[in-house]
Amino acid sequence: MRIYEKAVLGAVALAALGFFALNCGTNGDCLVYSDCAAGLTCAAGKCVPPPVAEDSGLDAEASGDGAALASDADASGDADASSDADGSTVDGTIETDAPMDGATNDSPADADASPSEASDGSSGG
Amino acid sequence: MARVLACVAVIVALVVAPRVASAQQYLLGASGELASGVEGGGSPGVPLQIGRTRIRLGLDLRVDEFPKDIYGLGLILDIEPRASFGLDVRYMRRLGPKFEVSVGAIGYLMPATLIGPSASLSYRIPLSPVAAVTVGPELNIYVLGSDLPDGTVVWQGLLQVGIHADL
């Protein structure tokens, strides 16, 4: 390779580097996920915070209402959940259900029923 | 009897014939290259970016009977803007004493995967009978991988400079 060929190659390489250095994107741009810092994701060529999923967003928005609902559920449904716990008034509420089952169990039909049927009835009730 | 002897002779000749292959020698070569360039692709409107700067350490193998057909394996180490590790496999074809083209596949394995086809051209500047400086462009297109946003393809144009030596 002659000297002028080397000079041409070097000049072309320098020109290309200069061009790209002046025209390339900034650090905020990304092509792949690993171009972005931790906690960010690459979307439309930009590093942005990851979008919040719709489900979790609803949960986050409804957290206050959810708490209220949860408390409502505690007031009513907890009777079932805490029925095994210490015989509070909630258990009393449960007890009101239990006699109903018991009444059905005491019925002649249930008395005649086989254990399997009785169990079915209890599970159904 | 003569026919039997002829058949035996033919069979022996056929069996012995592959002995010619024993004259083949596998020739090893090693290379080290430094490369950088530009990257693009992804979403529309995203400008070109300065590509990764990487080191490639390669081994290549050829048979002396077919010195123009070369098979290579390379270790890819990105050093900038972040460290990455990968591999590439290539089929290289000599085009005369100074030029060489190659096609193959390249894949980054860590910290995230990027996989795609690769092609390059090398111009060899001999330093000695067994060593040469290599200069040339390389084009990689990443179409698969966990590092690639959905529905995007990233291309990479590099200028690589290195040295190759026959072992």
DSSP class of A82: G
Q: What was the pLDDT predicted at A14?
A: 65
Report d(CA A74, CA A86) in Å as an integer.
15
Query: pLDDT digit string (tens) for A20-48?
Result: 555 555 556 788 888 888 888 888 888 88
**In B, which residues are within 8 Å of A2 by CB distance?**
none
Question: A25–B46: do the CB atoms touch at under 8 Å?
Answer: yes
Q: Which residues, including other chains, have CB under 8 Å from residue B108's CB and lie 6 or more apart?
A: B76, B78, B84, B85, B86, B114, B115, B145, B147
Q: What is the nearest CA distance from A30 to chain B, expressed in angstroms?
A: 8
Task: Select from B37, B38, B46 the Cβ nearest to the Cβ of A29.
Answer: B46
pTM confidence score: 0.60
Q: What was the pLDDT predicted at B31?
A: 94
Sign of CA dihedral A30, A33, A37, A43: positive
Q: What was the pLDDT predicted at B51?
A: 84
Report d(CA A83, CA A48) in Å as an integer.
49
Q: What was the pLDDT predicted at A68?
A: 41
Report d(CA B114, CA A103) in Å as an integer.
69
pLDDT digit string (tens) for chain B, length 167 residues = 677 778 778 777 766 665 555 678 899 999 999 999 988 886 677 778 888 899 999 999 999 888 889 999 999 999 988 899 999 999 999 998 889 999 999 999 988 999 999 999 999 999 988 999 999 999 999 999 998 888 889 999 999 999 999 98
Q: What is the nearest CA distance from B61 to chain A, expressed in angstroms?
A: 27
Query: pLDDT digit string (tens) for A66-88?
Result: 444 444 444 444 444 444 444 44
Q: What was the pLDDT predicted at B84?
A: 92
Report d(CA A110, CA B114) in Å as an integer.
69
Give chain A's contact residues with B (Cβ, < 8 Å). Answer: 1, 9, 13, 16, 20-21, 23-25, 29-35, 42-45
**In B, which residues are within 8 Å of A42 by CB distance?**
42, 149
Residue B25, Cβ density class (10 Å: 0-12 exposed, 13-18 middle, ≥19 buried): exposed
Question: A32–B149: do the CB atoms touch at under 8 Å?
Answer: yes
Report d(CA A116, CA B128) in Å as an integer.
94
pLDDT above 80 (res A10): no
Q: What was the pLDDT predicted at A20?
A: 55
Question: B49–A13: do the CB atoms touch at under 8 Å?
Answer: no
CATH class as words, domain B24-166: mainly beta
User: Could you tell me the two tokens for B113?
Assistant: 């995967």
Tracing tokens 């060899």 back to the chain, one arrives at B124
User: Could you tell me the two tokens for A111?
Assistant: 């008395």
